[in-house]
Amino acid sequence: MEGSLRCSNITGHLIKLNLRNTDPDYMEDYMGYYLYNDLDKSRTLSLSAGEMSSSLATLKHLRYLDLSRNDFNDTSIPVFLASLKNLRYLNLSRAGFGGRIPSQLGDLSKLQYLDLSWNYDYYGKRSYIVDLTWLPRLSLLSHLDMSVVDLSSARDWFQKVNMLPSLKVLRLSDCALNGIVSASISISNLTHLEILDISGNNFRASLKHAWFWNLTCLKELHLSGSGWEESIPSDLANMTSLQVIDFSRNSNDLVGLIPNKLENLCNLTRLWFSGNNVGSSVGEFMGRLPKCSWNTLQEFSVVDANMTGSLPIWIGNMTNLSVLQASGNMLTGPLPVGVGAMSNLKRMDLNYNNFNGVLLKEHFASLGKLELLGLSHNNFSGVLLKEQFASLEKLEVLDLSYNNFNGVLFKEQFASLGKLEVLDFSHNNFSGVLFKENFAALGHLKRLDLNDNKFNGVLIEEYFVRLLYLEYLDLSYNSLILAINKKWVPPFRLKIAKFQSCQLGPIFPEWLKWQSDIHVLILNDANLDDVIPDWFWVTFSRASTLQALGNKLSGSLPANLQHMSAEYIYIWGPIS
């Protein structure tokens, strides 16, 4: 691991030890389409506290210690770490530590960086702190992150934090904090604070009377999901250094627009306002954004914010915007042509609204960086042009489902979409035959959903030979015939396969026997007139749902169904 060890050039003593696990263990959510990156457990540390003590406790000159993103099997943070008195940096986040956090950490008087966040056991029980009296002894601390640490018993948390004169970063999200901190309390020691994250708590208090409005050096203010009530006060206008404002997920408690005199907030890069009760038009809301921020704003999110009206025609002036999320509102009108000028846009999620009109090539003219396009559950109509998506070479998710699009798909329609992983055109009025060229360029596709359209014609195995990573396939409710050679071995391993009302029969499709990873298989009304093959019960033994209603299948159930995982098996026919 590069940079994991460092010794002093003068004494030769070990002063830096970085054992952070760098393998990704996260899951990206593309509007409900989950793309997994699995954690390589073989590369994580898995030690008990006793196994650590003999090695680490002797490193008295250590200044930097990072054990984050490993698995310490719910053991408590070892007390012996408090003997490493020269530590300036200590990161124990996401490391599987459990139990009570030792107060002896207060002996690390030289600490400048302390991260204890996101530690909990396999049952979700979080690490906890009962008393924070040790915290003020860390007077040099500039960065403190205790997110997801249970602080519900630490009633004087604010008073203790307020005694840290050097603090610049304070993250206490999801710490079970509650109650009101009076705005009249002196915050003289927090005047250097640049990042404040107290989201995910349960304050249930008026935002107007909060204690942090005088922190004019703040660059980031995270207040999401904490039950803040009433409206946003005009004090926000005085916080001219703000770059990130996150007021999201305060439900119906936080109401109304942002203040209308924010002209000096010229450094804004991210504005997250999703899950609130704005109760007005998106045009009026965006009209209150300072014009000086149009070229600095990178993320704008107002999902489920009870907004109406149309996107402003000047939205194209926000040329630095990379994320535009406004799904789950009641937005209307056509999509402004100006979105096509937003050349840095990576995510555009406008699902679940009432947009209408047609899509023009100008809508996508300069969107070469776009990775996600979500326009589902709207009232868009018209045909898709050959050159519609020609510039979207980085697109990974394309969702146009639940609209009124019609017409045929041209052979060249997806030629430039080589990185596409999710394609959802379901619940529209597309028609005509599908061409094998439609899918030739989609070598990275994981999800293909063409359900509930008017496609017709015959599909043979050549249509699917390039789809090596396909996991989800839904061709239901079309007039498609799958004439697949029974000797064909698919290059993919499906997890969900839906072919309702497609013509797969009369012979039971032999190629399905290679799809042993399937969780859901739907073969209703698929014109099957055959004996269920013996391999069916073995291949799909791990499936949760098996349906083959409306066919003429016959055969015998296996002698022992205990090996089947399915919760639902619906097969219509003389099964014995």
Dihedral of alpha carbons 298, 303, 307, 310, sign: positive
Question: Starting at the edge strand that comes first in sequence, how are the strands of the sheet with 379-382 ordered?
Answer: 280-281, 307-309, 330-333, 354-358, 379-382, 404-407, 429-433, 454-459, 479-482
User: d(Cα 326, Cα 274) in Å, to the nearest integer?
Assistant: 8
Q: Vertex 327, ends 274 and 477: CA angle to 5°?
A: 145
**Residue among 355, 331, 366 at smallest CA distance from 405:** 355
- The tokens describing 192, both together, are 């250097």
CA-to-CA separations, 446 to 73, 127, 458, 465, in angstroms, rounded: 34, 38, 22, 13
Is residue 425 within 8 A of residue 432, CB to CB? The reply is no
pLDDT for 29 equals 46
User: d(Cα 285, Cα 263) in Å, to the nearest integer?
Assistant: 14
Residue 182 CB coordination number (10 Å): 9
Residue that the structure tokens 């999710």 belong to: 422
Say if residue 506 is preceded by a cis peptide, omega within 30 of 0.
yes
Q: Which residues of the chain have pLDDT under 70?
A: 1-3, 23-54, 179-180, 182-188, 560-566, 568, 572-576
pTM: 0.88
- The tokens describing 234, both together, are 């005009």
Is residue 291 within 8 A of residue 319, CB to CB? The reply is no
Q: What is the DSSP letter of 495?
A: S
DSSP letters for 323-362: EEE--SSEEEEPPPGGGGG-TT--EEE--SSEEEEE--GG
**Residue among 82, 85, 86, 119 at smallest CA distance from 102:** 82
Specify the amino acid at residue 386: K
User: d(Cα 316, Cα 313) in Å, to the nearest integer?
Assistant: 7
Residue 458 CB coordination number (10 Å): 12
Is residue 375 within 8 A of residue 350, CB to CB? The reply is yes
